[in-house]
Structure 1
Amino acid sequence: MTAADTLVETAPGYRPGRTLPLRVELIRQLRRRRTMVMFAVLAALPFVLVAAFALAGGPGGGDERATLMDAATNSGGNFTAMTLFASAGFLLVVPVALFCGDTVASEAGWSSLRYLLAAPVPRARLLASKLAVALGLSAAAFVMLPLIALAVGTVAYGWGPLELPTGGALPAGDVLPRLAMVVAYLFVSQLVTAALAFWLSTRTDAPLGAVGGAVGLTILGNVLDAVTALGGWRDVLPAHWAYAWVDALQPQLEWGGMVKGAAVSVSYALVLFGFAFRGFARKDIVS
């Protein structure tokens, strides 16, 4: 008989599903300094980019990335697309790894995890609440950055068609739906990082180890994807599809790359989330 079973028998008012409500966990995480700092950094980025363009006299360059930069000041939509392109490779990885990798490990590091479980909060309920809030905060970060970039870019450069790196332009009326697709895909593509960070968070008492491990392995995936000798093996790397969202910024919308990338990311994420819940259910909690 488990402790929860005993409590159900001895405490009529006890309801496992009402322990650690999402609202309580969300407020706890929002009040943490790392949450406020992370959102402040993301909110400041568009302003920093606008100031950089103003000081430099405008963007410029010659490769594909520079082509996006060349059009960055043409409209608010172009500025938003450039901001996402510049931040997708690393900056947007950090909040996902931070929110998902710090959530359980920090409780263990503070020696408060065992007290939460003694409250008693069922282990699956604890992980589900923390994972839901961590993913919610990550999604909020992914939505906040382009919204602020769009507002700042529109004020600074006006509203108009989105000029494409491959030539041509998207009509102004299609800009918002296409950017929404880009943001949705970026979030789905980072689910593997979220799952990796969350799994590591259940395995260690050091938040930095979980967060750093997830970021480090994500960077390793990017390095492996650059090794062309791997050939078709790169297709199973989430990093290989990291920029498949560019297909959403074509005159004719293409889904192939985004569907494959989402499938790879979700598949890895489900396995890693399963490892996290299974391992935590059997873990001896001493912190």
Structure 2
Amino acid sequence: MKAGAANGATANGTTATAAGAASTAVAERESAPTGAAPETAPGYRPRHTLPLRVEAVRQLSRRRTLVVYGILAALPFILIAAFAIGGDPDERGGNGRISLIDTATASGLNFAMACVFVSAGFLLVVPVALFCGDTVASEASWSSLRYLLASPVPRSRLLLSKLTVALAFSAAAMILLPLVGLLAGTAAYGWGGLELPTGGSLDPGTALVRLSIVVAFVFVSQLVTAGLAFWLSTVTDAPLGAVGGAVGLTIVGNVLDAVTALGDWRQFLPAHWQFAWADALQPQLEWGGMARGAAVSTAYALVLFALAFRHFRAKDVVS
């Protein structure tokens, strides 16, 4: 009897101890700050997930990337063939106005500037929209987005990696076209200074700096398209919808800029400043138009990128 009583007392004591420990754990959990980070697996570092090189290799191995770069690299040779068929610009006559096309065959630098001139309005919009609009939506269309998040890759890290790679590939597209144009133009028309449409010329060293400024401004002006495409990529699961929507809205901006009835309101449109880089083709470099254009484009882009991160953070990912 005494042994049974002792065993019962021990069991009751053990139960009481377990209940006390459980109550203590609950109390500690309730008293812990709500913002405390949950425990993670040993060695897990959110910043080390989805490295940029992995995303870059994935994007570079895709066929559409190679096709876009191939088209941009082929354009200068198409223009050279067109000039060869059509003859020298001086032989065709004109209306007395001199443009970059009229001076394209003067030197390799002039030809590179002409390549930027004919493509900045629309052609360079397409790769930016493609790289930034296809990056997230394509993962959703392949039903692989939820597996990336389950890796686990934090949502902000996933978006940041994809946006960084997309902007890098877009910048590479901006550089590829004038670079190939410079090499092909130099081989076809020789090396020399830059003849300005307004009269005068720049020495090759100064002209190279001006060309770099032009390319940098074109990239900054395309950040609005990048922001539109990236935001739409987080909204829809259809890559074509994100890319086409960004291109379409960019065209709408160009149309609105052509409506002179808007007056000074057009200055708030990114499209109004897309050719402000022409100020770099003056004997004295003018920064006013490019500075205002860069400010407008950057402001729109930051808002659109913020909207993309905000929407994706709360999005129910089922794809």
Q: Structure 2-normalised TM-score?
A: 0.86
1:196 to 228, 245, 252: 228
1:228 to 244, 260, 263: 260
Q: Which whole-Å CA distance do the structure 2 matches of 1:67 and 1:94 have between them?
A: 24
Match of 2:51 in 1: 21
Q: Which whole-Å CA distance do the structure 1 matches of 2:287 and 2:99 have between them?
A: 23
Q: Deviations over 1:216-249 (max 9, x none)?
A: 0001100100000000000000000000000011
- Determine helix, strand or coil for the equivalent of 2:305: helix
Cα 1:150–1:64, aligned 2, differ >3 Å: closer, same or farther?
A: farther
Q: Which whole-Å CA distance do the structure 2 matches of 1:65 and 1:133 have between them?
A: 41
- Determine helix, strand or coil for the equivalent of 2:100: helix
Q: Which whole-Å CA distance do the structure 1 matches of 2:235 and 2:93 have between them?
A: 44
Greater CA radius of gyration, 1 or 2? Answer: 2
Deviation at 1:173, TM superposition (A): 2.3
Match of 1:11 in 2: 41
Preserved CA contact (<8 Å) 1:61 1:70: no
2:110 to 63, 78, 87: 78
Cα 1:222–1:66, aligned 2, differ >3 Å: closer, same or farther?
A: farther
Q: Deviations over 1:73-112 (max 9, x none)?
A: 0101110111100000000001100000000000000010
Preserved CA contact (<8 Å) 2:141 2:237: yes
2:99 to 41, 55, 67: 67
Match of 1:98 in 2: 130
Preserved CA contact (<8 Å) 2:69 2:173: yes
Q: Which whole-Å CA distance do the structure 2 matches of 1:64 and 1:200 have between them?
A: 45
2:216 pairs with 1:184: yes
Preserved CA contact (<8 Å) 2:132 2:167: yes
Cα RMSD of the aligned pairs, angstroms, is 1.6
| Stretch moving more, 127-136 or 56-65 | 56-65
Match of 1:272 in 2: 304
Preserved CA contact (<8 Å) 1:64 1:165: no
2:240 pairs with 1:208: yes
2:45 pairs with 1:46: no
Cα 1:10–1:190, aligned 2, differ >3 Å: closer, same or farther?
A: closer
Q: Which whole-Å CA distance do the structure 2 matches of 1:62 and 1:205 have between them?
A: 49
2:284 pairs with 1:252: yes
1:170 to 194, 202, 207: 202
Q: Which whole-Å CA distance do the structure 1 matches of 2:40 and 2:65 have between them?
A: 39
Deviation at 1:61, TM superposition (A): 6.2
1:89-168 pair list within 5 angstroms: 89-168=121-200
Task: Give the AA of the match of 1:97.
Answer: A
Deviation at 1:63, TM superposition (A): 6.2
Q: Structure 1-normalised TM-score?
A: 0.95
Deviation at 1:58, TM superposition (A): 2.6
Deviation at 1:51, TM superposition (A): 1.0
Which portions of structure 1, spanning 4 or more consecutive aligned residues, are displaced by more than 3 angstroms?
A: 59-66
Task: Give the AA of the match of 2:47.
Answer: G
Q: Which whole-Å CA distance do the structure 2 matches of 1:61 and 1:72 have between them?
A: 15
Deviation at 1:169, TM superposition (A): 1.3
Preserved CA contact (<8 Å) 1:247 1:253: yes
Deviation at 1:10, TM superposition (A): 4.5
- Determine helix, strand or coil for the equivalent of 1:70: coil
Match of 2:10 in 1: none
Preserved CA contact (<8 Å) 1:61 1:69: no
Cα 1:10–1:275, aligned 2, differ >3 Å: closer, same or farther?
A: closer
Cα 1:89–1:270, aligned 2, differ >3 Å: closer, same or farther?
A: same
Q: Deviations over 1:147-169 (max 9, x none)?
A: 11000001100111211111111
1:34 to 59, 64, 85: 64
Identity %: 72
Unaligned runs of 5+ in 1: none
Q: Deviations over 1:115-150 (max 9, x none)?
A: 000111000000000000000000001011111100
Match of 2:86 in 1: 56
